[in-house]
């Protein structure tokens, strides 16, 4: 039988009280964030992230579900480049493409010349979150 530590139990109770203090719409948004992200883990982070989302015009679970695309660890051009490479690979797999051509693709330029018009990135607590601009 596994015994839970007192600190874990206290943390769980604190989270439950915080969650229960929110209205139903905010609880739905918290649930959606919890289901689709990995790096947001405590009450203060959820509150701060929800405030950031409001600044982007996202206030409901449905809006978050429609616009959220993904998250990557870290911030900076290398992260948007990685996002672009993964996005492009999902749409147009390059497995059959010779390395000579595949390695010539400048994914940073693809982001700046094309994808940034369809997506935007939001930095939060040292990580990057990607959203569709248009739904």
Percent of the chain at pLDDT exceeding 90: 75
pLDDT tens sequence across 39-89: 999 999 999 999 999 999 999 999 999 999 999 999 999 999 999 999 998
Domains held by the chain: number? 1
Residue 40's pLDDT is what? 95
Residue 123 within any structural domain of the chain? yes
Which residues span the domain enclosing 93? 8-132
| 126 assigned to some structural domain | yes
Length of the chain in residues, anyone?
135
The answer to whether residue 1 sits within a structural domain is no
| Residue 3 belongs to a domain | no
Q: What is the mean pLDDT of residues 13-35?
A: 95
Closest CA to 124 of 61, 47, 60, 67: 47
Contact between 67 and 135 (Cβ < 8 Å): yes
Residue 17 lies in a domain: yes
Task: Say whether pLDDT at 132 is over 90.
Answer: yes
- Does residue 62 lie within any of the structural domains? yes
């Amino acid at each position: 039988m596994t015994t839970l530590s007192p600190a874990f139990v206290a943390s769980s109770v604190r989270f439950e009280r915080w969650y229960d203090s929110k209205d139903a719409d905010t609880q739905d948004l918290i649930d959606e964030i919890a289901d689709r992200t990995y790096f947001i883990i405590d009450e203060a982070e959820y509150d701060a992230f929800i405030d950031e989302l409001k600044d982007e015009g996202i206030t409901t679970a449905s809006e978050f579900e429609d616009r959220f695309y993904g998250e990557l660890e870290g911030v900076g051009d290398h992260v948007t480049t990685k996002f672009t490479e993964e996005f492009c690979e999902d749409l147009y797999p390059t497995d059959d493409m010779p390395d000579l051509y595949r390695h010539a693709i400048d994914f940073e330029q693809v982001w700046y010349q094309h994808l940034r018009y369809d997506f935007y990135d939001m930095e939060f607590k040292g990580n990057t979150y990607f959203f569709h601009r248009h739904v």
